Each structure stands twice: as C-alpha cells, then as structure tokens.
Amino acid sequence: MIRDRAWTVAVEGAPVRLDLFLLERCPSSRRALVRRAIEVGAVTVNGRRAGKGQMLKPGDAVHVTELSEVDDPRVVPQPDLPLAMLGVSASWVAVDKPAGWPTQPIRPGETGTLANALAARHPECFQVGERDTGMGGLLHRLDRQTSGVVLAARTQTAWEELRAQFARRAVEKTYLALVAGRLEGPARIATPLAHDPRRPGRMCPGTEDAGLPAETRVEPVRNFGGLSLVRATIRTGVTHQVRCHLALLGHPIVGDRLYGGPPAGPGCDSRRHFLHAAAISFPDPDGGGAIRIVSPVPPEMWGHGGWQGPI
C-alpha cells in the first residue's frame, strides 16, 4: 500500500492525465487501482479532490493519501466477524453466508464480506485459486441478499478439481425461495440468460447465440395463501439464475425488487429477498464419494410459516 506521497508536476512538458502521471510514479499499482483511489477521494490536486480524467498542468501539486498496489492482499482477515462452519475436509470447507454480506471484496482492503471472515479461520483458501480477484479458493458466489452455503477449496489441486466439476455440471445446488403466487406443480425453465443492456446489474432472457445456458428445476414445497415456498435446483451457475428464472415463470421472489417480487409481509425481514442456498452436492475431490452439505433455513425466512422439513 502506498501512503502519504506527494509530487509536483514538472514545469517543462505537456499536460498529462492524472491517472497516467500516478501510474508512471507508482508502477507497483495499476490503472484500475489508481482510478479507484481517485474516485474515493484519496488523491488531491492542489489540495482539492481530483477527477479521474483530470489533466495536470506544470506546477500542480499531487498528493496521494492511500493507493493500493498489485501485490497487496485482496482479503483482510476479520476474526471478529461471526462465521458458521457447515463442513470441512483436508481439501474443502463449506460455510454459511448470512443475507446482507457480499461474498468477496471488490477492491483490496475492503472488509465486511464472507471472504474476510473465512480468511481469519482458513487463510490457506486465499493462497489458491483466483487470488487477484478476492475470490481465492471460493468456488462460487451468492448475491448479497441471498443466504446459504458457499464452498471453498483449501488446496490448489482441490480448487482445480472442484472448478472442473462445476464446469461439467457435476455440482448440484438446491435453493429454497418464497415466491409470489401458487406454484401448482413442478416446472423446468431452460431459458438462456444475458446481461440486460437497458438495466445494468440485471439479467434478461437471451438466445442460444447471445446468452448463457441456464436450467432451473422448480417444485412447490408449501403454499401460504398467495405465496409459495419452492425448491429450485440448478447445475448451471449464471448470475441471478434462480431469481431471473422464477420471475420469468411468473413467480418472482418475495423482496426481490429487481425482478418484480412483492414486498416482504408482516413477520418477514424487509432487508433481504427470500432466497436461501439450502444445499450443495458434489463428488468428493479426494475420492470419498458424494458429499452433500446443508444450510439450515435462517429464522428470518420463517415469517410465513417457514420450512424446517427436509431440503
């Protein structure tokens, strides 16, 4: 981490962009990190907050309060964050993510994520896999407001084997969702999904040529008047797959405003949407047979009667 550094732009020379000026003087960083420092106000020009496209003039005074470097640890261990362990072996660990937590930090030094809590208990997970992204050995993500089981690898060999299992669809994930309407019977949705060009951060139906393959199998578990508790099973893992497919089926998830879900009712936690990653099944990378990890349904999903039966 580069801290409390200052430069004065040379009198000679043509005007230069601020981000390029900083990159030349801080080669251990990179452009995305420089731009992030500028955006959060960690860079000033002549004592004032700078803009990322700002042009510097001779004599300008540039000051950096804090600038991340490429080799900075992406995940800061946070032993104070609570973490429920669901299963562990020599090769993998399964943990329970609460609703409201991001899965991993987006930028170096960010805290308050599942990865921060896991790094304090199993730092070896962040010495394998995608270390520069903050994912480390984490094998999949859950949306911030989705709770449930997340799987991570503890060794590089296990990470590569488990990633291969995800790629060949040998890993099955089971979700429980509280949705609008009454689902009367099982359904299968195999609509490809694509990023919505009109609404960033949202998925929409795609095509075979311009979309990601996705298949979701849904079955009703219990009805609550105008709502249903449903079980959704997937082997593909497209962003927002369950959320988008349930909305396309006409049964958006309670609390999921992005996909048109109804608001949470009395007794429900209005701060989350009602999707829970209840179980994950996969072949043991150590050859021990099939593994199934279950995450208990959290109490805040019990407002409409909940579900404490088999997942």
pLDDT above 70 for 309: no
pLDDT above 60 for 305: no
Tens of pLDDT, residues 7-24: 999 877 678 899 999 999
Tens of pLDDT, residues 236-268: 999 999 999 999 999 999 999 999 999 987 666
Question: What is the spatial distance between Cα 226 and Cα 223, in angstroms, rounded to a whole number?
Answer: 7
List of residues 6+ apart from 185 with CB closer than 8 A: 219, 220
Ordered domains of the chain (ranges, CATH): 2-67 (3.10.290.10), 73-168 (3.30.2350.10), 169-311 (3.30.2350.10)
pTM over cut 0.75: yes
Question: What is the spatial distance between Cα 162 and Cα 121, in angstroms, rounded to a whole number?
Answer: 21
Give, to the nearest 10 degrees, the angle between helix 31-39 and helix 18-25.
120
pLDDT above 70 for 308: no
Mean pLDDT within 141-148? 96
Question: What is the spatial distance between Cα 276 and Cα 145, in angstroms, rounded to a whole number?
Answer: 9
pLDDT, position 264? 81
pLDDT, position 310? 64
**Catalytic site positions:** 143
Tens of pLDDT, residues 159-171: 999 999 999 999 9
Question: What is the spatial distance between Cα 22 and Cα 49, in angstroms, rounded to a whole number?
Answer: 15
pLDDT, position 68? 80
Tokens of 11: 């009198």
3-state secondary structure at position 167:
helix
